[in-house]
Structure formats: structure tokens, C-alpha cells
Amino acid sequence: MAAAGSPPAIAAVPDEAAAAATGLAHVQRTGYQGFGSFHSGNVEDMIADPSWEPPANPCERVADVAALAAAAAAPFGAAMRPHFLIDFAAWTFLNHGAFGGVLACAHREAEAWRVRCEAQPLAFLDRELFPQLVRVMRELAGVLRCAPQDLALLPNATTGLNTVIQSLRGRVGPGDALFSLDIGYGSVKKMLQVVAQQTGAQHVEMAVQWPVSSPAELVSQVAAALPPGARFAVFDAVTSNTAVVLPLAELVTLCQGRGVEVLIDGAHALGQLPVGLEALGADYFVGNCHKWLCAPRGSAFLHVPRGHQAHVHPLIVSHGHGSGFVSEFIWDGCRDYAPLLGISAALRAWQAVGWAEVRRYQRALLADARGALCSAWGTGTLVPLSMCGAMALVELPAGCLAAARAAAGSADPCSAAGPAAGGAAATGAAPVATATSADAKYVQDCLHFGHAIECPVKCVAGRLYVRISAHVYNELSDYRRLAAAVCAIGDVEQQSDQEKAQQQQQQE
């Protein structure tokens, strides 16, 4: 008898009643259908055949998803917290953007898969896993609006980014340029440097000129900087350190019009922005499921349209090699595939809650939070709200830098000249010293250790900013707590309503 809440065990034969009647009649001498010696069908057929019936999901957490959908009938915020595993009693959590935070229903579904695997490892890994992964790929393709046979499930975005960038070996060489922005993800820069060294191509990194007040400005900076020899470019859907939503459609059109292949690093896209991969038409798109989708940790995807599949191969060669794109990626050795199967629960959860409602809440909360922080600190933001998704950079008051410098034992924090650039379009603040990442770390540590607030602090063009995230479990009181903590760290008095009104007038 299965314990309450545990997944159903795998039956000895798929349909015990039928087997009892027919003996082994259901056992046919088909030979191996797919790659290697797996006892499941051919995944290339399963994924491509629209009449293929996916197996039922024996681990489906129907009640958990229904409870989440019911909670979503109330305003989001605190009502959503029981459906996440984050310790909200202990922490004010404003950093969903870093590593995400799993939905409880998705975590439990993945756990159920793990238990099911261990109950009969052969039946699970050898026979059941592939059809179940194909089912998940089809579900995910529906949300990403692409063909499922152009998708690969991976443990993280880093693997997908390496897969595409390493595929440049043999396709680029001396005289070719690999283009990226200085606001791109740090490890991607290293991936490009490695492949440049391996091939003789050159990595060209464009420094974004701040302030940037519109997507069109960014596109024209790229248009001017793209070198004639560019063959490949990487852009983030949402940049990590600066939380800027890049104008992907325009960048893809620009680059492809000049014969440049485009890889989109969409680590932050799914669950934060609407995603339509076929309509976007990028050459390669990598996304995380364990970030804004809140799927179990260790879940991501790579989209490679068929025209590029001949040159994109997994970093790990295994049994599926040479048997087609899906076969090559679906198995990279015996490991825990439960996080990938758990993507399904996260997709069903957001479907039940409403994708559009989630994005609307994130955006409205972000707008309110930005407003509250700017007003409390008398500062501004890195870019306008129209260039944000569910994250934003808000400049810290000068007192934070002073506190960081005092902690370093250095003298006058306001003696240095202000930075040439710096965005902060609306600050009107006096010039401050040029901040460094050590100052940023100091303030982030103060928030973490002194106030139990998890919120990253970034240094951009010599200025300090918090990067706030807004997900369905956040509410305005979280950001008010952040506002007060920053004022305490920087020894800043929160502005009175009169001062705020005056500043507002000056800015208008």
C-alpha cells in the first residue's frame, strides 16, 4: 500500500487485467526502436508525430495546483507565499532574479518522480523516462510557441549557452568577430573568449553608453558598433546585472540583415516576459525554467531551429549520438531527470493562475516599488520603466557609499568627482564618489546580515543601485522594508512628503 502522498508504484505490466487475460500477448518481438538499448520507442517519431499520444503523468499534483489557483483568486503577494518554499518568515526576499525560487507543487512533483524512479529504476529509466520527457517537451513548446522537435531540455542555461558557442568551432576563424555587449552575462563573455582562442576569431564587446532612455537608442548603438566581420552575436532577453529588457526583435532583424547569427540568452525570459520563439526567429535561444518559471532547480531549455541542428551537438556525447537532434540531447547519462519532469507542474500552475495576470502583477508591483524607493531615497533609476520586465535598478542614496567607505576606513566618500555617465536620469543628486563592486558588496552584506533582506546591490558606471525583483509573492511592504533598511545603513533620513513633492516639482 503506497503511503499517502507518495506516487503510484510502476505496475509490473502496463495493464494488469489485460495481461492476466492474455498472458504475454502484449509482448512483441519488435527489436530496439530507438537509440542504444533503451526499451522505449523512438523519440524522433514520438516528438514529430502529431498523432502520438503522450503518456499520462502518474505524478501529477492536481490538488497542489488547484490550491495555488484558488489562492490566486485573492490578491497576489502574501497569499501566494505558502505555495513557495522560500522562508518568508525569516527573510524579505527581493532577489528572485538571481536563482529563482521553486513552486511547491513543482518541487513535490519532481520529488514524486524521484521516488518513482527509485522504486523500479529500470522500469523508469529504461522504459518510462523518454516518453515522459517528450510529453514535457511538447508542453513546453506550446508555451514557447515553437516546434517541440527544435527543443532540448538541459540542466541550466549555462549548458545551453556553451552548447551553442562551442558549436562555432569549425564555423568561424581568423577575421571573424563574435559580438556581445558589456552588460551581457559574465560567464558568456568567458565562453566567447574561449572559443575565440580556439578558432582565431575575435571577441568584440560593445560598451553600452549610459544613460540609455529608449530601446531604439540601444539598437542604434549596436548598429554603429557591429563590426563588418561579425558572424555571431549574443544578446540577453533581460540583462542580469542591469535588469534591462533588450529589444530582441529589432536586434535579431538588424544582425540577421547583416548576415550575423544571433544567440539569445533568455535565462530571465520565461515567466517574466511573453515568449514566442518562432515569431522572434533568433538562430538560437537558451532559457531557464528554474528562474522566473519557478520550476525545480536543474531545468532549462535550448531552442535550435532545424536549419541549424546539423551543427549543434550536445557537449556530452552519449547513446543518442548520430540518431537525430532530440535523441542526442534527451539522454546525457544516468542522472536525476526529475527537475526536467517537474517543468510540467510549473507550466500547469501558471496556466491555472493565468500567465497574463502574473505579468500584470509583476509589472504593476515593480512600478510601485520603483516609485516608493526613488521617493524614499531621492534618487532615480537606471532605465525607464518601459525598459524593465519584473526587475529594475534603483540608485542608492549617497549615504550608502559613504557608509561603505567608512567601513573601509577611507576618508571623505564625497571627495571624488562624479562619474561621466551613470543614468540616474531623475536623481538631481550631488556628485558622489565613484563606487566599486566592493562598496556594492558591503551594502548587500549589510542588508543580508543586518536586516535579513536578500537584495543584490550593483555598481554600474561608478554608481550604486539595488536590483529589485517583483514576483507574485512580493508586495509593496517588502520594498518599504528595503527603503527603511537602506536609510539606516546610509544614515539617510527618509524624505518627508513635502520634500518629495518639492523634488517631484524640480524633476518636472
Ligand X SMILES: Cc1ncc(COP(=O)(O)O)c(C=O)c1O
Q: Are strands 284-288 and 300-303 parallel, antiparallel or unpaired?
A: antiparallel
Distance CA 172, CA 279 (A): 27
- Whichever of 244 and 402 has its CB closer to ligand X, that residue is 244
- Whichever of 293 and 376 has its CB closer to ligand X, that residue is 293
Least separation in angstroms between residue 388's CB and ligand X is 15
- Whichever of 295 and 487 has its CB closer to ligand X, that residue is 295
- Assess 158 for contact with ligand X (CB under 6 A): yes
- Whichever of 46 and 457 has its CB closer to ligand X, that residue is 457
Least separation in angstroms between residue 302's CB and ligand X is 11
Least separation in angstroms between residue 499's CB and ligand X is 36
Q: Among the candidate windows 62-70, 155-163, 472-480, 487-495, which touches ligand X by CB under 6 A?
A: 155-163
Least separation in angstroms between residue 43's CB and ligand X is 24
Q: Among the candidate windows 101-109, 115-123, 152-160, 427-435, which touches ligand X by CB under 6 A?
A: 152-160
SS3 112: helix
Binding mask 214-253 for ligand X (x = CB under 6 A): ----------------------x---x-------------
**Cα Rg of the chain, angstroms:** 25
- Whichever of 158 and 163 has its CB closer to ligand X, that residue is 158
Least separation in angstroms between residue 258's CB and ligand X is 24
288 close to 98: Cβ distance less than 8 angstroms = no
- Whichever of 150 and 236 has its CB closer to ligand X, that residue is 236
Element (H, E) at 125: none
SS3 84: strand
Number of other CB atoms surrounding residue 386 within 10 Å: 9
Q: Among the candidate windows 34-42, 156-164, 301-309, 412-420, which touches ligand X by CB under 6 A?
A: 156-164
Least separation in angstroms between residue 181's CB and ligand X is 11
Least separation in angstroms between residue 244's CB and ligand X is 11
Binding mask 267-296 for ligand X (x = CB under 6 A): xx-------------------x--------
Distance CA 399, CA 491 (A): 6
Distance CA 168, CA 201 (A): 10
DSSP E strands in 188-321: the ranges are 202-206, 230-236, 261-266, 284-288, 300-303
486 close to 397: Cβ distance less than 8 angstroms = yes
Out of 149, 156, 362, 469, the residue judged to bind ligand X by CB under 6 A: 156
- Using CB under 6 A, which residues numbered 250 to 269 contact ligand X? 265, 267-268
- Whichever of 178 and 487 has its CB closer to ligand X, that residue is 178
SS3 211: coil
Bridge partner residues of 236 (DSSP): 265
388 close to 244: Cβ distance less than 8 angstroms = yes
Out of 179, 185, 325, 331, the residue judged to bind ligand X by CB under 6 A: 185
The residue assigned the cell 524522433 is 44
SS (H, E, C) 286-308: EEECCCCCCCCCCCEEEECCHHH
- Whichever of 185 and 210 has its CB closer to ligand X, that residue is 185
DSSP letter assigned to residue 200? S
Beta-carbon contacts of residue 34 (< 8 Å; ≥ 6 apart): 40, 41, 42, 43, 44, 130, 323, 327
Least separation in angstroms between residue 156's CB and ligand X is 3
- Whichever of 183 and 461 has its CB closer to ligand X, that residue is 183
Size of the site for ligand X (CB under 6 A): 10
Phi-psi region of 170 (alpha: psi -120 to 50; beta: other; left: phi over 0): left
Least separation in angstroms between residue 286's CB and ligand X is 8
- Whichever of 268 and 359 has its CB closer to ligand X, that residue is 268
CA-based diameter of the chain, in Å? 89
SS3 238: strand
Distance CA 426, CA 432 (A): 15
Give the cell for residue 214. 529608449
Least separation in angstroms between residue 291's CB and ligand X is 7
Bridge partner residues of 93 (DSSP): 454
Closest listed residue to residue 312, CA positions, set 338, 286, 277: 286
Determine the length of the chain. Answer: 508
- Whichever of 222 and 492 has its CB closer to ligand X, that residue is 222
Least separation in angstroms between residue 266's CB and ligand X is 8
Q: Among the candidate windows 63-71, 81-89, 150-158, 409-417, which touches ligand X by CB under 6 A?
A: 150-158
Q: Among the candidate windows 27-35, 154-162, 317-325, 449-457, which touches ligand X by CB under 6 A?
A: 154-162
| Residues of this chain that bind ligand X (CB under 6 A) | 156-158, 185, 236, 240, 265, 267-268, 288
